[in-house]
Structure 1
Amino acid sequence: MCSLSIQRSVAHFDLDSFFVSVECKNNSSLIGKPVVVGGGERGVVASASYEARKFGVRSAMPVKLAKRLCPDIIIIKGDMDKYSRESRMVTDIISNHVPMFEKSSIDEFYIDLTGMDKYFGCELFTSELRKTICKETGLSISQGLATNKMVSKVATNESKPNGQIYIPFGNEKRFLAPLPVNKLPMVGEKTGELLRRMGVETIQTLSEIPEPMMVNLLGKNGIELSRRANGIDNSPVVPYQEQKSVSTENTFNNDTINLAFLNNQLIRMCEQVAYELRAGNKLAGCVTIKIRYSDFQTFTKQVTIAYTASDHIIIEAAKELFSRLYDRRLLVRMVGVRVSSLIPGNYQINLFDDTQEMVNLYQSIDSIKRQFGEQLLMRASGINQSGTHTTW
């Protein structure tokens, strides 16, 4: 009895300098100039044009540093509503052309084309799809095609901007070999520095290190990194399913009219849903508050907000909604918080109004919560709690 292995074909599409490209689409005078999308003087760079990158400007860099590197740089405050609409256009085009795809971020997609070679040809198909996206959206997008997600992503990065690369089966190691180790996913600043101190400059050299030695260096991550250096990646393309909302509610053991207590509960629940958003790389564009009184009558009120995964922004919106909603002065049986209108995206790309210190603060908070649990770290105003927790 023999087993047949199906040769995979995975395409990776990535919009080039997405936020900046959208701004250039709406203002042609920005084309060809050093441009960044980000926050104010103390904010961070969310996206940089390729002209700005020539000066060393990069995403997540403080805006102040970007200005020092490139004094003539043009700084634009981001608009997540606008970027979300453009992302949806690209998503709809891809959805209309392929049966299954993964949307890994607001501007990045994986498409499983396994088996399509029999009918059309994956290389031709992805090339035509890229042209369609560029024509219908007016945005620049790059694309890589290979036998797995990791190699296709590296290929896309090598094809930027506005290009495409096809890596045929059997050529994965040959393609990766001459590239610097930091081109490999999983190799961040610390790992890259460690490898360079060992004299490991290229992916080829990394691929030749025995796996036991990689385990000694990096633990379990060393095994995966060794596999990737050899062009191996079995991770699946996860079908795109848009999550509608994140929510929580609290039914109290005793009905209450204690506004301080209710405020504490509201803050705690906002922290909970915001952390869940960040953990799932989601941003929310709508906040809803629900109140159920002791007579079981239930009321809700919602507000549209700029896309965020930030505690303090969601808390501010929730408090305002609660003050408008709680007008009967009856005992309250339950309160709930829901965030909806979700889009893919990590917290950092939404920090158009926040400072670098705020970025660092949320990163530290999330790191502690991941290690020790959500309940270990919370605002003092949200600690006083009592009741039964459910979702809605």
Structure 2
Amino acid sequence: MDRAIVHMDLDTFFVSCERRNNSQLVGKPIIIGGGDRGVVASCSYEARYYGVRSAMPIKMAMKLCPEARIIRGDMDLYSKLSHEVTEIIEEKVPLLEKASIDEFYLDLSGMDRFFGTYQWTKELAAHVVKHTDLPISFALSNNKTVSKIGTGEAKPKGHLEIQPAMIRPFLNPLSVRKIPMVGEVTYQLLSRVGIRTIHTLAEMPTEVLQKILGKNGIELSRKANGIDDSPVVPYTERKSISSEHTFEKDSINIYGIKSLLTGMAEQLAHQLRQEKWLTSTIVVKIRYSNFETEIKQCKVSYTSADHTISRYALELFDKLYTRRMRIRLVGLKLTGLVHGEYQMNMFEDTQEMMNLYQSMDRIKNRFGKNAVGRASGFDFPSKHY
């Protein structure tokens, strides 16, 4: 049986959420972000016309489009509306994967025995728009890669069906940048050897790509040829991630305990970024030598930044530790998670901070999670669960 895989993506989601609440923003160039030294989290098509892009420094964006209106952003609103869209889709499809706060994969394999899958998906998209007033685009094909690329080509407010026989003709003229796993570094490597279109990439011997890109070269060759067997993974919302440490001997070394918390915050924040989560609640737990356990938590703006999480964690610890008693266990938990593609607190952090975290994450991914970190929390022993 041929697979039927749909990729759905809410168009300029953050901007659309703001316009839903304020119709006066419709048709205006909009930038979602924060602070003169912040970065663009999202922008409208009107702003993109002037060259504004996500992750661009706000100052640069305003030079390109001085008329743009900057909106700080409201992750609580975006999370709420994302949940509404998810419930609408989840109620109607047999298998749903929520890839981020604003994009979804649907496995509709076998449904064409009863009705046209493409027409059914058009009706589902119209249903989402009717009940949420949020624009959405989609593409239908036989695998996730082609469908995702198709959605990008269909935007805004568009839809495509790419039959198996049309996959190569559809992909061939497109830039290799359109393939999801191709970032700027990979694109530059391919460009230096004359590979700029998917057609050229698809015709390149796998052995050559493997020499250039390592094991990723094999996967990239398959995607360029429209081959992707990865399944649609059933959608489940993760509730929390956490880390804790039990001392071999009860401790009263407050400086050392705070160093542990800093290290925990750094590793959990890295995990958030790798799994594409943002947290809104930070919880610190301590257990005294007499086995009494105390917990304190606080709400924060959605973030996955080390320095933000560690700051709140240390503040919570100072409020918790009110006795001159030895501590048996300390723990840190991050809850209130929402899925998203964002590496940091997108409304507060600067371009310099974003570059720092991206560099640290690349080093950790290549050499291990303890390869780089803050001196105050480096190489701490912990137990994750």
In the superposition, the TM-score normalised over structure 1's length comes to 0.93
User: 2:351 is matched with which residue?
Assistant: 356
Tell whether the 8 Å contact from 2:39 to 2:56 is kept in structure 1 after alignment: yes
Tell whether the 8 Å contact from 1:283 to 1:307 is kept in structure 2 after alignment: yes
With over 3 angstroms needed to count, the CA separation of the structure-2 counterparts of 1:178 and 1:370, relative to structure 1, is closer
Tell whether the 8 Å contact from 2:283 to 2:333 is kept in structure 1 after alignment: yes
With over 3 angstroms needed to count, the CA separation of the structure-2 counterparts of 1:376 and 1:184, relative to structure 1, is closer
CA shift at 1:195, angstroms? 4.0
Which is worse superposed, 210-219 or 299-308?
210-219
Tell whether the 8 Å contact from 2:303 to 2:344 is kept in structure 1 after alignment: no
Q: 1:69 aligns with which of 60, 64, 69?
A: 64
Q: 2:40 aligns with which of 25, 42, 45?
A: 45
Tell whether the 8 Å contact from 2:79 to 2:338 is kept in structure 1 after alignment: yes
With over 3 angstroms needed to count, the CA separation of the structure-2 counterparts of 1:375 and 1:171, relative to structure 1, is same
With over 3 angstroms needed to count, the CA separation of the structure-2 counterparts of 1:225 and 1:380, relative to structure 1, is closer
With over 3 angstroms needed to count, the CA separation of the structure-2 counterparts of 1:32 and 1:322, relative to structure 1, is same
C-alpha distance in structure 2 between counterparts of 1:215 and 1:376, whole Å: 26
User: 1:373 is matched with which residue?
Assistant: 368
Q: Counterpart of 2:215 in structure 1: which amino acid?
A: K
With over 3 angstroms needed to count, the CA separation of the structure-2 counterparts of 1:196 and 1:251, relative to structure 1, is closer
Aligned alpha-carbon RMSD (Å): 1.8
User: 1:127 is matched with which residue?
Assistant: 122
CA shift at 1:328, angstroms? 2.6
Q: Counterpart of 1:103 in structure 2: which amino acid?
A: K
C-alpha distance in structure 1 between counterparts of 2:141 and 2:260, whole Å: 50
In the superposition, the TM-score normalised over structure 2's length comes to 0.95
User: 2:102 is matched with which residue?
Assistant: 107
Q: Counterpart of 2:336 in structure 1: which amino acid?
A: S
Q: Does 1:271 align with 2:293?
A: no
C-alpha distance in structure 2 between counterparts of 1:279 and 1:73, whole Å: 32
User: 1:344 is matched with which residue?
Assistant: 339
Q: Does 1:228 align with 2:199?
A: no
Equivalences for residues 224-303 of structure 1 within 5 A: 224-303=219-298
User: 1:163 is matched with which residue?
Assistant: 158
User: 1:35 is matched with which residue?
Assistant: 30
C-alpha distance in structure 2 between counterparts of 1:309 and 1:278, whole Å: 6
User: 1:389 is matched with which residue?
Assistant: 382
C-alpha distance in structure 2 between counterparts of 1:166 and 1:384, whole Å: 50
CA shift at 1:198, angstroms? 4.4
Which is worse superposed, 341-350 or 257-266?
341-350
Which is worse superposed, 172-181 or 49-58?
172-181
CA shift at 1:278, angstroms? 1.3
CA shift at 1:179, angstroms? 2.2
Cα deviation, 1:263-282, whole Å, max 9, x if unaligned, reads 12221211121111112111
Which is worse superposed, 269-278 or 181-190?
181-190
C-alpha distance in structure 1 between counterparts of 2:138 and 2:360, whole Å: 35
| DSSP-derived class of the 2:83 partner | helix
Q: Counterpart of 1:240 in structure 2: which amino acid?
A: Y
C-alpha distance in structure 2 between counterparts of 1:213 and 1:356, whole Å: 36
CA shift at 1:194, angstroms? 4.3
CA shift at 1:313, angstroms? 1.1
Identical aligned residues as a percent: 53
| DSSP-derived class of the 1:350 partner | coil
User: 1:3 is matched with which residue?
Assistant: none
| DSSP-derived class of the 2:259 partner | helix
CA shift at 1:321, angstroms? 1.4
User: 1:175 is matched with which residue?
Assistant: 170
| DSSP-derived class of the 1:162 partner | coil
User: 1:213 is matched with which residue?
Assistant: 208
Tell whether the 8 Å contact from 2:370 to 2:378 is kept in structure 1 after alignment: no
Which is worse superposed, 333-342 or 226-235?
226-235
C-alpha distance in structure 1 between counterparts of 2:249 and 2:175, whole Å: 62
C-alpha distance in structure 2 between counterparts of 1:377 and 1:212, whole Å: 33
Structure 2 unpaired stretches of 5+: none
C-alpha distance in structure 1 between counterparts of 2:364 and 2:122, whole Å: 43
Structure 1 unpaired stretches of 5+: 1-5
With over 3 angstroms needed to count, the CA separation of the structure-2 counterparts of 1:198 and 1:333, relative to structure 1, is closer
User: 2:15 is matched with which residue?
Assistant: 20
Which is worse superposed, 178-187 or 102-111?
178-187
| DSSP-derived class of the 2:315 partner | helix
C-alpha distance in structure 2 between counterparts of 1:335 and 1:349, whole Å: 25
| DSSP-derived class of the 1:170 partner | helix
Tell whether the 8 Å contact from 1:46 to 1:349 is kept in structure 2 after alignment: no
Tell whether the 8 Å contact from 1:287 to 1:338 is kept in structure 2 after alignment: yes
Q: Counterpart of 1:389 in structure 2: which amino acid?
A: S
User: 1:191 is matched with which residue?
Assistant: 186
